């Protein structure tokens, strides 16, 4: 008697982006099948909630994966593949509903009955389905990061550990975004007259369709729906190629209807004839952890402190008529985003995990492509009554050019707080309208250089130069990104011109951080509240 042994699926251990990579680079149909297995229930449940007709929902389901096959780059660049598929399923489902409404309208004129009115597959729990459709609408309108967290943990029922790994976040970041997402979703539902307790809300989100997911196959209806979704949501050029993709993808059969077949490998079938199953399964590609990681995060003003007001320039203003087009002139030493409390112009950098303040960044840990860069030229503009940028971070050896775009001359008083070959690197030059001045190449610094105008003293700025590439300046939202950082244990330092180092003098050593090797090559840090008593005394 022969015994059939089901082998574990070697692709099940790969994350979504690795599966997409295999599909794109190797045309691996099994990798695509695994994606459909992983996300099929999410997609089909969304399609069923948007489209009540069961057959049309199946066409919408097919169309979603036609879109994925034609535009895998869109899914790869999204925060999560599941969140991206949720959005596509919503768009395709709405296209299907518009198609059905047009057909029903035509049938009504002809004296027929709308298929929507006579559908026998509509469940008796229509009110609850309406609630789920409202939930889908509000989820679709949420910020991508919050939607990705909710989709992963509730609609796809992943554990927090699984979701954090897939999204490339820390557990605390995932939990924070889940809490924010649930609260935002609850408030949006309340505006629509839907009031749910937290338990019922999460229970409603965690109610995917339990019906068997249809096998993936192409049909004229699914190709047309995919084309319409692509025209509306991506591009007309992609839409024109959907018919070709439908022929290729439509020939793949996915054994999703039988729950018992979850661990067996399905057999790919071409559009023309069934192919025999190979005698042995190909060896799975090893999960590759990337040693170079883009580290991102956000520096924020502490919640328990009032955001300082931006002060207007009122004293000692020369050439008043010159500044009228740029009024009001502001002291830009502290810029905090009113909504998200992000702090602009903070300098963030990595340093060795050492208590030695003078420890240099190990050259052998710098990404090979960044180890010996060509010197760059950075321009600081005198424009609109300010120096822009206010804070500049650069690499040792780079040059800074001060370029006056004001309608009047101004001076640049440059002060270097460290010695350079035994002499201070400083200058005070008058720069005429349309003129510029190039400073000496920057050395690696342990304190920032400063530049200001004696003529217009509210114009100020700072420059840091580092002996490595792992630094950034926060934007208007307090966000920063440091690319190709080496995995390992490091210290993260944050500095601001007004209050100095985050956490005061001990902050010179930085906060300990661990950058893990990552499948996605991304690591997002928790929020960095910048607490200081000096904010109030600026």
Of 246, 261, 276, the residue that ends a domain is 261
Examine residue 378 and state whether it is found in any structural domain, yes or no. yes
Q: What pLDDT sits at residue 238?
A: 37
Report yes or no: 352 and 491 within 8 Å, Cβ to Cβ: yes
Look-up of token digits 């020939």: 251
Report yes or no: 9 and 263 within 8 Å, Cβ to Cβ: yes
Domain with residue 442: its CATH number is 2.60.40.420
Report yes or no: 378 and 393 within 8 Å, Cβ to Cβ: no
Examine residue 174 and state whether it is found in any structural domain, yes or no. yes
Q: What pLDDT sits at residue 60?
A: 87
- The verdict on 313 and 383 lying in the same domain is no
Q: What pLDDT sits at residue 215?
A: 64
Tokens of 486: 């080496």
In angstroms, rounded to a whole number, what is the distance separating the alpha carbons of residues 448 and 463? Answer: 6
Report yes or no: 287 and 309 within 8 Å, Cβ to Cβ: no
- The verdict on 68 and 86 lying in the same domain is yes
Examine residue 443 and state whether it is found in any structural domain, yes or no. yes
Mark 174-200 as b/e (b = at least 16 C-beta within 10 Å).
bbebbebbbebbbebbeeeebebeeee
Report yes or no: 479 and 329 within 8 Å, Cβ to Cβ: no
- The verdict on 484 and 501 lying in the same domain is yes
Report yes or no: 367 and 292 within 8 Å, Cβ to Cβ: yes
Of 468, 487, 504, the residue that ends a domain is 468
- The verdict on 71 and 190 lying in the same domain is yes
Cis peptide before 389 (omega within 30 of 0): yes
Where helices occur in 192-297 by DSSP H, the ranges are 198-205, 220-233, 236-239, 242-249
Judged on CB neighbours under 10 Å (0-12, 13-18, 19+), 272 is exposed
- The verdict on 364 and 397 lying in the same domain is no
Domain count within the chain: 3
In angstroms, rounded to a whole number, what is the distance separating the alpha carbons of residues 461 and 455? Answer: 15
**Local confidence pLDDT in tens for the 538 residues of the chain:** 444 545 556 677 788 888 888 888 888 888 888 899 889 888 888 888 888 777 888 888 888 888 888 888 888 888 888 889 998 988 888 888 887 787 777 766 544 444 333 344 444 445 556 677 777 888 888 888 888 888 888 888 888 888 888 887 888 888 888 888 888 888 888 777 776 555 555 555 555 444 456 666 555 566 666 666 555 554 433 343 333 334 334 444 333 333 333 333 333 333 333 444 444 444 445 556 788 999 999 999 999 899 988 888 887 788 888 888 888 888 999 999 999 999 999 999 999 999 998 999 999 999 998 998 889 999 999 998 999 999 999 999 999 999 999 999 999 999 987 665 555 689 999 999 999 999 999 999 999 999 999 999 999 999 999 999 999 999 999 999 999 999 999 999 999 999 999 989 899 999 999 999 888 888 899 889 998 888 877 6
Examine residue 417 and state whether it is found in any structural domain, yes or no. yes
Examine residue 2 and state whether it is found in any structural domain, yes or no. no
Beta carbons within 8 Å of 338's beta carbon, 6+ residues apart? 307
- The verdict on 307 and 411 lying in the same domain is no
Beta carbons within 8 Å of 36's beta carbon, 6+ residues apart? 65, 216, 254, 256
In angstroms, rounded to a whole number, what is the distance separating the alpha carbons of residues 338 and 307? Answer: 8
Tokens of 129: 């389905």
Judged on CB neighbours under 10 Å (0-12, 13-18, 19+), 334 is buried
Sign of CA dihedral 288, 290, 296, 302: positive
Domain extent, residue 411, equals 374-468
- The verdict on 212 and 133 lying in the same domain is yes
Look-up of token digits 């649930």: 182
- The verdict on 95 and 185 lying in the same domain is yes
Beta carbons within 8 Å of 152's beta carbon, 6+ residues apart? 80, 82, 83, 158, 162, 163, 166, 167
Q: What pLDDT sits at residue 120?
A: 41
- The verdict on 165 and 83 lying in the same domain is yes
Report yes or no: 61 and 257 within 8 Å, Cβ to Cβ: no
DSSP, residue by residue, 445-458? -SS-EEEE-SSSTT
Examine residue 41 and state whether it is found in any structural domain, yes or no. yes
Strands 386-388 and 449-452: unpaired
Classified as helix, coil or strand, 485 is strand
Of 244, 261, 278, the residue that ends a domain is 261
Examine residue 389 and state whether it is found in any structural domain, yes or no. yes
In angstroms, rounded to a whole number, what is the distance separating the alpha carbons of residues 147 and 131? Answer: 18
Strands 460-466 and 391-395: parallel
- The verdict on 456 and 507 lying in the same domain is no
Backbone φ and ψ for 508, nearest 5 degrees, come out as -60, -30
pTM (predicted TM-score): 0.56
Tokens of 4: 């059939």
CA distances from 411 to 248, 424, 451, 464 (A): 67, 19, 10, 21
- The verdict on 30 and 129 lying in the same domain is yes
- The verdict on 176 and 216 lying in the same domain is yes
Examine residue 267 and state whether it is found in any structural domain, yes or no. no
Report yes or no: 404 and 436 within 8 Å, Cβ to Cβ: yes
**CA of residue 535 relative to chain centroid, distance:** 30
């Amino acid at each position: 008697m022969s015994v059939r042994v089901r082998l574990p699926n070697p692709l099940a251990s790969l994350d979504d982006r690795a599966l997409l990579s295999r599909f794109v680079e190797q045309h691996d149909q099994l990798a695509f099948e695994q994606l459909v297995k992983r996300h099929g229930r999410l997609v089909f449940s969304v399609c069923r909630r948007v489209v009540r007709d069961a057959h049309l929902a199946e066409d919408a389901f097919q169309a979603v994966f036609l879109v994925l096959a034609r535009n895998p780059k869109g899914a790869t660049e999204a925060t999560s593949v599941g969140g991206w598929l949720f959005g596509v399923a919503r768009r395709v489902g709405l296209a299907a509903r518009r198609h059905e409404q047009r057909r029903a309208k035509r049938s009504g004129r002809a004296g027929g009955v709308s298929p929507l009115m006579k559908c026998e597959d509509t469940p008796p729990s229509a009110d609850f389905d309406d609630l789920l459709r409202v939930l889908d609408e509000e989820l679709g309108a949420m910020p991508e990061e919050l939607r990705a967290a909710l989709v992963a943990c509730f609609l796809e029922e992943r554990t927090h550990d699984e979701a954090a790994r897939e999204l490339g976040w820390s557990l605390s970041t995932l939990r924070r975004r889940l809490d924010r997402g649930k609260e935002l979703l609850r408030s949006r539902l309340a505006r629509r007259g839907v009031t749910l307790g937290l338990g019922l809300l999460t229970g409603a989100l965690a109610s995917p369709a339990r019906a068997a997911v249809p096998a993936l196959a192409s049909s004229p209806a699914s190709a047309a729906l995919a084309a319409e979704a692509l025209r509306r949501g991506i591009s007309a050029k992609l839409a024109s190629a959907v018919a070709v993709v439908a022929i290729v993808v439509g020939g793949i059969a996915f054994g999703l209807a039988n729950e018992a077949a979850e661990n067996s490998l399905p057999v790919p079938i071409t559009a023309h004839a069934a192919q025999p199953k190979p005698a042995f399964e190909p060896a799975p590609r090893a999960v590759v952890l990337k040693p170079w990681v883009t580290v991102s995060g956000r520096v924020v003003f502490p919640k328990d402190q009032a955001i300082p007001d931006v002060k207007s320039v009122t004293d000692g203003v020369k050439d008043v008529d010159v500044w009228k087009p740029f009024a009001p002139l502001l002291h830009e030493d502290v810029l905090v985003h009113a909504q998200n409390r992000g702090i602009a112009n903070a300098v963030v950098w990595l340093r060795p995990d050492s208590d030695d303040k003078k420890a240099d960044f190990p050259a052998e840990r710098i990404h090979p492509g960044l180890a010996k860069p060509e010197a760059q030229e950075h321009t600081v503009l005198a424009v609109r009554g300010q120096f822009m940028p206010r804070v500049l971070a650069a690499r040792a050896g780079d040059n800074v050019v001060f370029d006056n775009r004001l309608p009047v001359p101004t001076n640049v008083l440059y002060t270097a707080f460290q010695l350079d070959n035994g002499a201070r690197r400083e200058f005070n030059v008058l720069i005429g309208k349309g003129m510029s001045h190039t400073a000496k190449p920057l050395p690696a610094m342990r304190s920032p250089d400063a530049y200001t105008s004696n003529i217009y003293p509210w114009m100020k700025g700072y420059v840091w130069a580092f002996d490595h590439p792992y630094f950034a300046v926060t934007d208007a939202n307090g966000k920063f990104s440091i690319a190709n950082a080496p995995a390992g244990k490091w210290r993260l330092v944050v500095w601001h011109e007004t209050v100095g180092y985050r956490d005061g003098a001990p902050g010179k050593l930085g906060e300990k951080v661990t950058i893990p090797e990552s499948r996605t090559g991304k690591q997002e840090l928790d929020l960095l509240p910048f607490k200081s008593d000096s904010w109030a005394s600026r």
